[in-house]
Structure 1
């Protein structure tokens, strides 16, 4: 299926590994020129090598979206090298796990900056040009905790849900300008974060067996969903928060 986005410029934050890199690969495979943003120089360099295999123009920016000045700089650099951003994939690493009573106000400040305001600043930076051109796609990557509060993930439950609220609000405001805004809610995906928090291979396998499909997900399975939502084929999909969790969530909605 031709997704109709060949030649578009995509900006992917958290794009040097895991779900972000998978999304960047899916977009490059569909013919997009891609800018990936990350916090680790070595990982960014490796990501560029992997993405160049698709034969498209690839650029990398070392930045942390937690920094209030990063969003504008990243978008401007992308524009200078690749052109104006057509597709924004706002993907930030999850905040540390912990119960509400175990978190400090400083923890909340960091989580809000990274997982909420970082996304808001990126959207502010790309939205005017998307509206002026009459076409744009914004896809945020959050967590299934948006649909179902997960024990021990107070920071994620709150900040990810706030992003979902931004998506639903913005989607109604800018769809008439040709800009569609959607949110992807990954469940258990085989990423460094999941491996670090799972407690070893056996626990990871056990976690997979608890999912209805019988395994944890692969990053590329989320990346392909992101690419679809960013495409012409999804031209009537707007304001959704789409679970990609193998059927794990029990919420009816």
Structure 2
């Protein structure tokens, strides 16, 4: 097969769906993965309607057996996987003193162990090809911290650090590893939860964003597509902030 194959996790909606569709437009065959395979149908159909190639996959990324079965299904249908976009994640708004061990472990299982498992399972395909792209979707909260989000923000900070270490370890095999920490992106489950919980008027929120607009899933997807192709072959271990200037470096 001449095309490249990607798996995008958390791709039933929001940023994941946008990344899957954008990669498909670049000619990449996409495994559209989410916890519930049935929820992936709309994303898969949109890709096929646009002339692309996609398959729906259902898996719990924090469970190795579940993730492995989904990856094998993707390989059987599309071929070796050389692009992984680790987007699946869960949020949390628990005050620090109210955090339980169980809640902490759940958030870290999805947000940190999930990308580790998914990347580990596709790494042999990338090494065999001497080419690979890993894009981890972290969060601007992992850069700045956030009140009542210690569990979530620290897990995303772990993703940022994991990206840097992976890049150094995988570089000799032609594999780049980068992360995108989105800011305020509308049309995602997390952004809607944030807006409902904190009741921050949009005009107030916009004052914290230099470009004076909210992000859109396609903003993240455009950066993701660039990191997944040849144009970014000398970029690895980087945090590519797509946040309208909310966090600058």
Task: State TM-score, norm by structure 1.
Answer: 0.92
Please give the secondary structure, in 2, of the residue aligned with 1:11: strand
1:197 corresponds to: 194
Partners of 1:195 and 1:204 within 8 A in 2: no
Matches of residues 225-244 of structure 1 in structure 2 within 5 Å? Answer: 225-244=223-242
1:37 corresponds to: 33
1:204–1:69 distance in 2 versus 1, CA, 3 Å: farther
Matching of residue 86 in structure 1 with residue 82 in structure 2 = yes
Please give the secondary structure, in 2, of the residue aligned with 1:247: coil
Matches of residues 40-119 of structure 1 in structure 2 within 5 Å? Answer: 40-119=36-115
Q: 1:151 aligns with which of 142, 147, 160?
A: 147
Tell me the distance in 2 between the aligned counterparts of 1:34 and 1:248: 31
Partners of 1:205 and 1:215 within 8 A in 2: no
Matching of residue 222 in structure 1 with residue 220 in structure 2 = yes
Please give the secondary structure, in 1, of the residue aligned with 2:57: strand
Which piece of structure 1 moves more, 61-70 or 84-93? Answer: 61-70
Tell me the distance in 1 between the aligned counterparts of 2:210 and 2:115: 31
Matching of residue 162 in structure 1 with residue 161 in structure 2 = no
Is there any run of 5+ residues in structure 2 with no aligned partner, and where?
none
Give how far 1:150 is off. 1.5
Q: How many residues align?
A: 246
Please give the secondary structure, in 2, of the residue aligned with 1:140: strand
Please give the secondary structure, in 1, of the residue aligned with 2:152: helix
Give how far 1:107 is off. 0.4
Partners of 1:10 and 1:87 within 8 A in 2: yes
Is there any run of 5+ residues in structure 1 with no aligned partner, and where?
1-5
Give how far 1:36 is off. 0.6
Which piece of structure 1 moves more, 66-75 or 149-158? Answer: 66-75
Tell me the distance in 2 between the aligned counterparts of 1:39 and 1:170: 25
Partners of 1:14 and 1:93 within 8 A in 2: yes
Q: Structure 1 residue runs of 4+, over 6 Å off?
A: none
